[in-house]
């Protein structure tokens, strides 16, 4: 069993489930949208009415089949009006496999992808990374990676997830077996630790998460005045809600995320699960007219 240190870890972190070391180093200033568009192979909408940012597992990939089908078709029909961004813990290879999965036959590729819990940004169509956003994250992660590996190799309660990523380490974690001091030692190496769904541990470059990366993407898009709506179901989505954007916590959100709701004044807890929750949230925040059929 984990001792008092683990309890202190849970109590002292800002969200209750993240451990950060100091103030993260600042990333370099961003360049213009023109340079960003040049590094993204898909044409981005010039004048969208909404930027919709959705998690995948438990959110866009979940819910009633009819509601999933409606939302997928709506996103395809409204592609010039709704700029769609995936924000997921999946890696790019896992995302690519979704578009050949018979369980999601109408799932359409988004405009942009934020993957690896914020450590990767890619074109939604080609799934090629966007260098101007990824290279600064790699620079943060590079010096930390070997030290993180040395600290986590052979640790009880940790097993590496079978994924490929150059900018984070991801583990299956058993809190009952974890060394209660391990997360403190990791934080001293200049990384953030994110525990979610009671079983996943992501070790990330300091200050990098779905919320911070989304903010950088939106700054590059230069869509002043265009509303943003985020949707998610797990603790790795918390940073998006904390960024202050209107948010939809879908009805099947994990209990630990729901516990943060009192601190999230701009977040709506939907009753419906997955895609139904996204649709419910769109209506709640006044985007009902966008949901009407195209003329």
* Mean pLDDT across 184-194: 92
Helix (H, G, I), strand (E, B) or coil at 214: helix
What pLDDT digit, counting tens, does each position of 203-262 carry? 999 999 999 999 999 999 999 899 999 999 999 999 999 999 999 999 999 999 999 999
- How many CB atoms lie under 10 A from the CB of residue 154? 7
* Residue 40: per-residue pLDDT: 95
Ordered by where they begin, the domains of the chain are 4-8+137-205 (3.90.1070.10), 47-134+209-288 (3.40.50.1000)
* Residue 261: per-residue pLDDT: 97
Q: Are 236 and 246 in contact (CB under 8 A)?
A: no
- How many CB atoms lie under 10 A from the CB of residue 213? 26
Q: Which residues contact 131 (CB under 8 A, 6 or more apart)?
A: 39
Helix 274-284 / helix 65-77 crossing angle, nearest 10 deg: 50
Detail the DSSP E strand segments found in the chain. 18-19, 50-54, 82-87, 112-115, 120-123, 158-160, 169-173, 191-196, 200-205, 228-232, 247-249, 267-269
Structure token pair of residue 51: 């930027």
Widest Cα–Cα separation across the chain: 61
Q: Which helix (H) or strand (E) holds 216?
A: helix 210-221
Residue 31: which pLDDT band, with cuts at 50, 70 and 90? low
Distance between CA 54 and CA 66 in Å, rounded?
Answer: 18
Tell me the DSSP string of 138-181. Answer: HHHHTTTHHHHHHHHTT-TTEEE-S---SS-EEEEE-TTTS-TT
What pLDDT digit, counting tens, does each position of 48-61 carry? 999 999 999 999 99
Strands 50-54 and 228-232: parallel
* Residue 175: per-residue pLDDT: 87
Mean pLDDT over each residue of the chain, to the nearest integer: 88
Residue 24 has pLDDT above 80, yes or no: no
* Residue 15: per-residue pLDDT: 37
Is the pTM value of this prediction over 0.85?
Answer: yes
Q: Are 272 and 253 in contact (CB under 8 A)?
A: no
Residue 5 has pLDDT above 60, yes or no: no
What pLDDT digit, counting tens, does each position of 12-21 carry? 333 334 444 3
What pLDDT digit, counting tens, does each position of 157-181 carry? 999 988 777 799 999 999 899 898 9
Tell me the DSSP string of 57-98. Answer: IIIIT-S-HHHHHHHHHHHHHTTTTEEEEEE-SS-HHHHHHH
∠ Cα 80 82 114 (to 5°)? 115
Residue 73 has pLDDT above 60, yes or no: yes
Q: Are 233 and 212 in contact (CB under 8 A)?
A: no
Q: Are 58 and 252 in contact (CB under 8 A)?
A: yes
């Amino acid at each position: 069993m984990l001792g008092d240190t683990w309890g202190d870890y849970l109590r002292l972190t800002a969200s209750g489930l993240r451990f950060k070391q100091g103030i993260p180093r600042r990333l370099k200033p961003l360049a213009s949208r023109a340079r960003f568009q040049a590094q993204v192979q898909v044409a981005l909408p010039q004048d969208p009415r909404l930027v919709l940012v959705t998690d995948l597992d438990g959110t866009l990939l979940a819910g009633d089949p009819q509601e999933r089908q409606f939302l997928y078709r709506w996103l395809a029909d409204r592609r010039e009006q709704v700029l769609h961004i995936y924000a997921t813990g999946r890696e790019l290879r896992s995302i690519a496999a979704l578009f050949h999965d018979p369980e999601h036959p109408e799932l359409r590729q988004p405009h942009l992808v934020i993957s690896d819990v914020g450590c990767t940004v890619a074109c939604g169509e080609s799934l090629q990374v966007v260098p101007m956003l990824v290279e600064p994250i790699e620079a943060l992660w590079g010096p930390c990676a070997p030290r993180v590996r040395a600290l986590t190799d052979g640790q009880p309660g940790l097993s590496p997830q079978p994924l490929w990523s150059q900018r984070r380490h991801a583990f299956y974690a058993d809190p009952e077996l974890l060394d209660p001091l391990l997360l403190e030692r990791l934080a001293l190496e200049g990384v953030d630790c994110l525990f979610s769904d009671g079983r996943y541990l992501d070790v990330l470059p300091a200050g990098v998460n779905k919320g911070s990366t989304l903010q950088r993407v939106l700054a590059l898009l230069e869509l002043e005045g265009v509303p943003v709506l985020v949707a998610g179901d797990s603790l790795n989505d918390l940073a998006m809600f904390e960024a202050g954007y209107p948010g939809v916590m879908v009805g099947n959100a994990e209990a630990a995320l729901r516990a943060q709701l009192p601190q999230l004044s701009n977040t709506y807890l939907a009753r419906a699960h997955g895609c139904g929750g996204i649709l419910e949230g769109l209506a709640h925040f006044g985007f009902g007219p966008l949901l009407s059929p195209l003329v």
